[in-house]
Chain A
Amino acid sequence: EDKVVQSPLSLVVHEGDTVTLNCSYEVTNFRSLLWYKQEKKAPTFLFMLTSSGIEKKSGRLSSILDKKELFSILNITATQTGDSAVYLCAVEDRRTYKYIFGTGTRLKVLA
């Protein structure tokens, strides 16, 4: 059965810290891996990764995919209180086009 596992489940850090969120997957028909940030309601898109070893960056956030070891990491540097959210990882199945979501990592950044 396909699955996506995120770790840690929750994390509390102080402003200015750097955090690394992990997402490992076992999906037979992998197409892409996506990261989302969910604060209160709708998840907002962060990154989509399809190729190994190519880092994607957006401001203080960056992400990379390892298709050999079947995982991705999301890095946030110089964290701010506004980064507090649940970060979701999802893997798209290229046969069904369905997205399999991980349980999420709940990040809390303290001032």
Chain B
Amino acid sequence: GAVVSQHPSRVICKSGTSVKIECRSLDFQATTMFWYRQFPKQSLMLMATSNEGSKATYEQGVEKDKFLINHASLTLSTLTVTSAHPEDSSFYICSARDGTTNEKLFFGSGTQLSVL
């Protein structure tokens, strides 16, 4: 089945630093990738939609300068949390849609970000 790889799985950083999270579709081309944020015991909150070769579409309330998304190829999207602060600590998870079947959503394993 389709596999989405997300790295790193866990990162601890100091306040003010930037953190890059990668999301790769391993055996299919992902024309669209989604980035979610999940707080403990809460559901997935969509942050942005990433389309290959174009600018990401951000949800209301999500700062595009804070959360930089790049989708340079059909198999890779990256999320960079710039100048991270403790309130950015969260579980970030990416998902990808198979561009050929355009069905189902496959999830990466998530990244637990802790900002000290």
Contacts and interface: CB of A to CB of B under 8 A. Distances in A.
A108 interface: no
B104 A42 contact: no
Contacts of B104: 34, 45, 48
A45 B44 CA distance: 15
A85 B19 CA distance: 29
B42 interface: yes
B43 A45 contact: no
Q: Size band of the B side of the interface? A: 20 to 34
B46 interface: yes
A80 to B, nearest CB: 22
Contacts, number: 52
B67 interface: no
DSSP majority for the B interface? strand
A101 B106 contact: no
A100 B104 CA distance: 13
A60 interface: no
A106 to B, nearest CB: 7
Contacts of B36: 101
A82 interface: no
Interface of A: 32, 34, 36, 41-45, 48, 88, 90, 92, 96-104, 106
Given A45-B104, A92-B105, A97-B32, 18 more contacts: A32-B103, A34-B104, A36-B107, A41-B9, A42-B93, A42-B108, A42-B109, A48-B104, A88-B43, A97-B97, A98-B34, A98-B49, A99-B95, A100-B46, A101-B45, A102-B43, A103-B42, A104-B43
